[in-house]
Amino acid sequence: MAAIRKIKGPRGGSWLVQVRRKGHPTINRNFKTKVEAEQFAFDTESAMGKGVFVPASRDPSRRTLVKDIFERYRTEVAANKVNARKEQSVVLRLIANCDFMEKPISEVTGKDIANWRNQRLKKILPSSVNREWNTMSAVFKHSIKEWRYQIPGGNPCYDAKRPEGADRRRNSRWSDADIQAMMRATNWRADRLPQTCRDYIGWIMQIAVESAMRVGEICSIRAGDFHPDKRAIYLAHTKNGDDRWVPLSNKALSYFQFLA
Protein backbone atom coordinates (compact mmCIF):
# COMPACT_ATOMS: atom_id res chain seq x y z
CA MET A 1 0.00 0.00 0.00
CA ALA A 2 1.31 3.46 -0.86
CA ALA A 3 1.24 6.39 1.56
CA ILE A 4 1.64 9.98 0.35
CA ARG A 5 2.17 12.98 2.63
CA LYS A 6 3.23 16.60 2.30
CA ILE A 7 6.65 17.64 3.59
CA LYS A 8 6.94 21.32 4.49
CA GLY A 9 9.89 23.27 3.13
CA PRO A 10 11.15 26.80 2.31
CA ARG A 11 10.11 26.49 -1.36
CA GLY A 12 6.69 24.98 -0.97
CA GLY A 13 7.97 21.66 0.30
CA SER A 14 7.59 18.31 -1.42
CA TRP A 15 5.50 15.16 -1.45
CA LEU A 16 6.87 11.97 0.11
CA VAL A 17 5.76 8.62 -1.27
CA GLN A 18 6.26 5.43 0.69
CA VAL A 19 5.34 2.13 -0.96
CA ARG A 20 5.16 -1.04 1.14
CA ARG A 21 4.36 -4.47 -0.26
CA LYS A 22 5.12 -7.94 1.02
CA GLY A 23 8.12 -9.46 -0.70
CA HIS A 24 9.54 -6.10 -1.79
CA PRO A 25 11.78 -3.53 -0.11
CA THR A 26 10.15 -0.33 1.17
CA ILE A 27 10.35 2.42 -1.45
CA ASN A 28 10.65 6.09 -0.44
CA ARG A 29 10.69 8.92 -2.95
CA ASN A 30 10.20 12.70 -2.91
CA PHE A 31 8.42 14.70 -5.63
CA LYS A 32 7.70 18.38 -6.21
CA THR A 33 4.01 17.86 -6.96
CA LYS A 34 1.28 15.59 -5.63
CA VAL A 35 0.39 14.51 -9.16
CA GLU A 36 3.91 13.17 -9.73
CA ALA A 37 3.84 11.42 -6.37
CA GLU A 38 0.51 9.74 -7.11
CA GLN A 39 1.69 8.63 -10.54
CA PHE A 40 4.87 7.13 -9.08
CA ALA A 41 2.87 5.28 -6.41
CA PHE A 42 0.48 3.88 -9.02
CA ASP A 43 3.26 2.79 -11.41
CA THR A 44 5.31 1.19 -8.61
CA GLU A 45 2.39 -0.74 -7.13
CA SER A 46 1.31 -1.85 -10.59
CA ALA A 47 4.82 -3.14 -11.41
CA MET A 48 5.01 -4.97 -8.08
CA GLY A 49 1.61 -6.54 -8.70
CA LYS A 50 2.65 -7.77 -12.14
CA GLY A 51 5.94 -9.10 -10.83
CA VAL A 52 8.04 -6.85 -13.08
CA PHE A 53 9.26 -4.35 -10.47
CA VAL A 54 13.03 -3.89 -10.42
CA PRO A 55 14.63 -2.17 -7.38
CA ALA A 56 16.69 0.92 -8.13
CA SER A 57 19.81 -0.89 -6.89
CA ARG A 58 19.51 -3.36 -9.78
CA ASP A 59 18.11 -1.06 -12.49
CA PRO A 60 20.76 1.04 -14.28
CA SER A 61 18.01 3.26 -15.73
CA ARG A 62 17.16 4.43 -12.23
CA ARG A 63 20.77 4.92 -11.18
CA THR A 64 22.23 6.55 -14.32
CA LEU A 65 21.88 10.32 -14.62
CA VAL A 66 20.82 11.97 -17.86
CA LYS A 67 24.06 13.96 -18.04
CA ASP A 68 26.06 10.71 -17.95
CA ILE A 69 24.04 9.37 -20.89
CA PHE A 70 24.63 12.57 -22.87
CA GLU A 71 28.34 12.55 -22.09
CA ARG A 72 28.59 8.93 -23.17
CA TYR A 73 26.79 9.76 -26.41
CA ARG A 74 29.18 12.67 -27.02
CA THR A 75 32.29 10.51 -26.69
CA GLU A 76 31.07 7.21 -28.17
CA VAL A 77 28.58 8.23 -30.86
CA ALA A 78 28.87 11.90 -31.82
CA ALA A 79 32.66 11.66 -31.98
CA ASN A 80 32.39 9.15 -34.83
CA LYS A 81 30.01 11.16 -37.02
CA VAL A 82 31.07 13.06 -40.12
CA ASN A 83 30.18 16.37 -38.45
CA ALA A 84 31.61 15.26 -35.11
CA ARG A 85 32.74 18.67 -33.88
CA LYS A 86 29.36 20.27 -34.52
CA GLU A 87 27.41 17.39 -33.00
CA GLN A 88 29.59 17.28 -29.90
CA SER A 89 29.16 21.02 -29.46
CA VAL A 90 25.37 20.66 -29.50
CA VAL A 91 25.52 17.89 -26.89
CA LEU A 92 27.65 20.07 -24.62
CA ARG A 93 25.12 22.92 -24.95
CA LEU A 94 22.34 20.55 -23.99
CA ILE A 95 24.24 19.37 -20.92
CA ALA A 96 24.77 23.00 -19.89
CA ASN A 97 21.20 24.21 -20.51
CA CYS A 98 18.92 21.32 -19.46
CA ASP A 99 17.67 21.43 -15.86
CA PHE A 100 16.88 17.71 -15.88
CA MET A 101 20.47 16.56 -16.39
CA GLU A 102 20.74 15.54 -12.72
CA LYS A 103 17.70 13.27 -12.96
CA PRO A 104 17.91 9.50 -13.47
CA ILE A 105 17.17 8.79 -17.12
CA SER A 106 14.12 6.73 -16.16
CA GLU A 107 12.43 9.81 -14.69
CA VAL A 108 12.66 12.21 -17.64
CA THR A 109 9.25 13.13 -19.04
CA GLY A 110 7.76 15.23 -21.81
CA LYS A 111 7.17 17.95 -19.24
CA ASP A 112 10.93 18.26 -18.72
CA ILE A 113 11.41 18.65 -22.46
CA ALA A 114 8.65 21.27 -22.67
CA ASN A 115 10.20 23.29 -19.82
CA TRP A 116 13.60 23.18 -21.53
CA ARG A 117 11.99 24.28 -24.82
CA ASN A 118 10.29 27.26 -23.17
CA GLN A 119 13.51 28.42 -21.52
CA ARG A 120 15.57 28.08 -24.69
CA LEU A 121 13.01 30.01 -26.75
CA LYS A 122 13.74 33.02 -24.54
CA LYS A 123 17.34 33.01 -25.77
CA ILE A 124 17.49 31.51 -29.27
CA LEU A 125 15.31 31.19 -32.39
CA PRO A 126 12.75 28.37 -32.80
CA SER A 127 14.82 26.90 -35.64
CA SER A 128 17.86 26.72 -33.35
CA VAL A 129 15.80 25.08 -30.62
CA ASN A 130 14.57 22.56 -33.18
CA ARG A 131 18.13 21.62 -34.16
CA GLU A 132 19.06 21.06 -30.53
CA TRP A 133 15.83 19.08 -30.14
CA ASN A 134 16.91 16.75 -32.98
CA THR A 135 20.15 15.94 -31.20
CA MET A 136 18.43 15.48 -27.85
CA SER A 137 15.90 13.09 -29.36
CA ALA A 138 18.73 11.14 -31.03
CA VAL A 139 20.47 10.72 -27.66
CA PHE A 140 17.35 9.33 -25.98
CA LYS A 141 16.59 7.09 -28.97
CA HIS A 142 20.10 5.66 -28.97
CA SER A 143 20.11 5.08 -25.20
CA ILE A 144 16.81 3.18 -25.42
CA LYS A 145 17.52 1.08 -28.53
CA GLU A 146 21.26 0.48 -28.27
CA TRP A 147 22.09 0.77 -24.58
CA ARG A 148 18.77 -0.69 -23.39
CA TYR A 149 17.93 1.95 -20.82
CA GLN A 150 14.29 1.92 -19.75
CA ILE A 151 12.21 5.11 -19.86
CA PRO A 152 8.58 4.34 -18.86
CA GLY A 153 7.03 6.65 -21.46
CA GLY A 154 9.62 5.98 -24.15
CA ASN A 155 11.52 8.84 -25.80
CA PRO A 156 10.37 11.93 -23.83
CA CYS A 157 10.91 14.16 -26.88
CA TYR A 158 7.88 12.48 -28.44
CA ASP A 159 5.68 13.68 -25.56
CA ALA A 160 6.28 17.40 -26.07
CA LYS A 161 5.43 19.81 -28.88
CA ARG A 162 8.18 21.23 -31.02
CA PRO A 163 8.45 25.04 -31.11
CA GLU A 164 6.13 26.77 -33.55
CA GLY A 165 7.83 28.04 -36.68
CA ALA A 166 10.71 25.60 -36.29
CA ASP A 167 9.89 23.67 -39.44
CA ARG A 168 9.19 26.67 -41.65
CA ARG A 169 10.26 25.97 -45.21
CA ARG A 170 13.10 27.91 -46.75
CA ASN A 171 11.70 29.23 -50.02
CA SER A 172 14.17 31.99 -50.76
CA ARG A 173 16.36 31.57 -53.84
CA TRP A 174 19.43 33.44 -54.98
CA SER A 175 18.72 35.69 -57.93
CA ASP A 176 21.23 36.44 -60.67
CA ALA A 177 21.67 39.87 -59.10
CA ASP A 178 22.48 38.26 -55.73
CA ILE A 179 25.07 36.00 -57.32
CA GLN A 180 26.70 38.84 -59.22
CA ALA A 181 26.87 40.93 -56.06
CA MET A 182 28.62 38.05 -54.29
CA MET A 183 31.08 37.68 -57.16
CA ARG A 184 31.93 41.38 -57.01
CA ALA A 185 32.34 41.21 -53.22
CA THR A 186 34.75 38.27 -53.52
CA ASN A 187 36.50 39.73 -56.57
CA TRP A 188 36.04 36.35 -58.31
CA ARG A 189 37.50 35.72 -61.74
CA ALA A 190 37.07 32.54 -63.79
CA ASP A 191 40.67 32.73 -65.04
CA ARG A 192 42.35 33.06 -61.64
CA LEU A 193 43.14 30.26 -59.20
CA PRO A 194 42.05 30.87 -55.60
CA GLN A 195 44.75 32.19 -53.29
CA THR A 196 42.89 33.75 -50.38
CA CYS A 197 39.83 32.79 -48.33
CA ARG A 198 37.81 35.36 -50.25
CA ASP A 199 38.82 33.74 -53.54
CA TYR A 200 37.63 30.35 -52.31
CA ILE A 201 34.24 31.79 -51.32
CA GLY A 202 33.68 32.93 -54.88
CA TRP A 203 34.58 29.53 -56.31
CA ILE A 204 32.42 27.70 -53.76
CA MET A 205 29.50 29.93 -54.68
CA GLN A 206 29.89 29.23 -58.40
CA ILE A 207 30.22 25.47 -57.91
CA ALA A 208 27.22 25.39 -55.56
CA VAL A 209 25.04 27.18 -58.12
CA GLU A 210 26.05 24.77 -60.89
CA SER A 211 25.99 21.49 -58.92
CA ALA A 212 23.55 22.03 -56.00
CA MET A 213 26.13 20.54 -53.63
CA ARG A 214 26.22 21.63 -50.02
CA VAL A 215 29.05 23.85 -48.80
CA GLY A 216 30.42 21.08 -46.59
CA GLU A 217 30.42 18.67 -49.49
CA ILE A 218 32.27 21.11 -51.75
CA CYS A 219 34.90 21.78 -49.10
CA SER A 220 35.48 18.04 -48.63
CA ILE A 221 36.28 17.37 -52.31
CA ARG A 222 39.78 16.07 -53.09
CA ALA A 223 41.51 15.76 -56.46
CA GLY A 224 40.75 12.04 -56.61
CA ASP A 225 37.01 12.69 -56.28
CA PHE A 226 36.88 14.45 -59.65
CA HIS A 227 36.14 12.06 -62.52
CA PRO A 228 36.15 14.04 -65.80
CA ASP A 229 35.52 10.87 -67.84
CA LYS A 230 32.21 10.44 -65.99
CA ARG A 231 31.54 14.18 -65.82
CA ALA A 232 30.91 13.74 -62.11
CA ILE A 233 32.17 14.27 -58.58
CA TYR A 234 32.19 11.36 -56.14
CA LEU A 235 31.19 12.26 -52.56
CA ALA A 236 32.19 9.57 -50.06
CA HIS A 237 30.55 11.30 -47.10
CA THR A 238 27.33 13.29 -47.29
CA LYS A 239 24.93 14.77 -44.74
CA ASN A 240 22.85 11.60 -44.48
CA GLY A 241 25.90 9.35 -44.28
CA ASP A 242 25.61 7.84 -47.76
CA ASP A 243 27.97 8.25 -50.70
CA ARG A 244 26.73 9.61 -54.03
CA TRP A 245 27.76 10.79 -57.47
CA VAL A 246 27.10 14.39 -58.49
CA PRO A 247 26.71 14.97 -62.25
CA LEU A 248 28.38 18.13 -63.54
CA SER A 249 27.03 20.68 -65.98
CA ASN A 250 29.30 21.96 -68.74
CA LYS A 251 30.16 25.03 -66.71
CA ALA A 252 30.80 23.03 -63.52
CA LEU A 253 32.98 20.60 -65.47
CA SER A 254 35.06 23.49 -66.83
CA TYR A 255 35.47 24.89 -63.31
CA PHE A 256 36.84 21.61 -61.94
CA GLN A 257 39.09 21.09 -64.97
CA PHE A 258 40.58 24.54 -64.36
CA LEU A 259 40.98 24.02 -60.59
CA ALA A 260 42.41 20.51 -60.98
* Phi, psi (deg, nearest 5) at residue 30: -110, 140
Tell me the per-residue pLDDT of 120-172, one tens digit each, with 9 for 90 and over.
Answer: 999 999 999 999 999 999 999 999 999 988 887 789 999 999 998 766 666 67
**pLDDT of the residue at 5:** 87
Write the DSSP string, 185-252.
Answer: HHT--TTS---SHHHHHHHHHHHHHHH---HHHHHT--GGGEETTTTEEEESS-TTS--EEEE--HHH
- Banded pLDDT at 238 (limits 50, 70, 90): confident
Measure the CA–CA gap between 206 and 169, rounded to whole angstroms: 24
What mean pLDDT comes out for the span 217-243?
A: 89
Instruction: Quote the radius of gyration of the chain (alpha carbons, Å).
Output: 27
Measure the CA–CA gap between 149 and 254, rounded to whole angstroms: 54
DSSP 3-state of 245: strand
Q: Are strands 226-227 and 232-235 parallel, antiparallel or unpaired?
A: antiparallel
More confident residue, 46 or 155: 155
The mean of the pLDDT values for the chain is 87
Tell me the per-residue pLDDT of 9-31, one tens digit each, with 9 for 90 and over.
Answer: 766 678 888 888 887 778 777 77
What mean pLDDT comes out for the span 246-258?
A: 93
Tell me the per-residue pLDDT of 48-81, one tens digit each, with 9 for 90 and over.
Answer: 887 766 666 555 666 789 999 999 999 999 998 8
Start-to-end C-alpha separation, the chain: 77
Q: Dihedral (C-alpha) 223, 224, 225, 229: value to the nearest 10 degrees?
A: 100
